[in-house]
Amino acid sequence: MRFATGTGHPPSDGGEAPYEVGNKKPPKQFQFKPGQSGNPKGRPKGSTSFEARVQKELSKLVTVNKNGRSVKMSKLDVGVTRLVDRFMTGDLKSTAIIIGLGKRNEKPKTGVFAKPMTPLQVATESPNVSTG
């Protein structure tokens, strides 16, 4: 048994009962004081989340050639256009992604007559499907 004094011996003044130091029980002098934050500086101002950074990048405009003409589109629109073009050529990954997106917008079937999902449906329902 260890004690907060760091000597391994109980306090000699006979005051309070010994405090056991161990897993998830730091010595009293290293515990946070009441009202003290574990992260006093906090999150820096201006820092953004990963999702916000991705959304900002996807909203940027780029110039692409579409049917021989230069057109400005957002990066998100370019990605969607390429996904649909691959789907139209019969690419299986693109097909799975588009079917998965369509399934997300349907109301879920419940009740006695609901059909169990096939492995392909389970794979396309997963939010971790990659386009690569």
CB 75, CB 59: distance < 8 Å: yes
CA distances from 132 to 64, 83, 90 (A): 21, 11, 15
Q: Global pTM?
A: 0.47
Q: Which residues pair with 69 in a beta bridge?
A: 66
CA distances from 107 to 1, 118, 123 (A): 59, 17, 18
The whole-number pLDDT of residue 47 equals 80
Q: Is the pLDDT of residue 26 over 80?
A: yes
The string of pLDDT tens digits covering residues 60-118 is 999 999 889 999 999 999 999 999 999 999 999 999 999 988 888 777 666 655 666 66
Between 119 and 12, residue with greater pLDDT: 119
The whole-number pLDDT of residue 77 equals 94
The whole-number pLDDT of residue 70 equals 95
Q: Name residue, tokens 């588009």.
A: 98
CB 131, CB 93: distance < 8 Å: yes
The string of pLDDT tens digits covering residues 33-54 is 888 777 778 778 888 889 999 9
Secondary-structure breakdown of the chain: helix, strand, coil percentages, each rounded to the nearest 5: 35, 10, 55
Average pLDDT, integer, range 18-42: 83
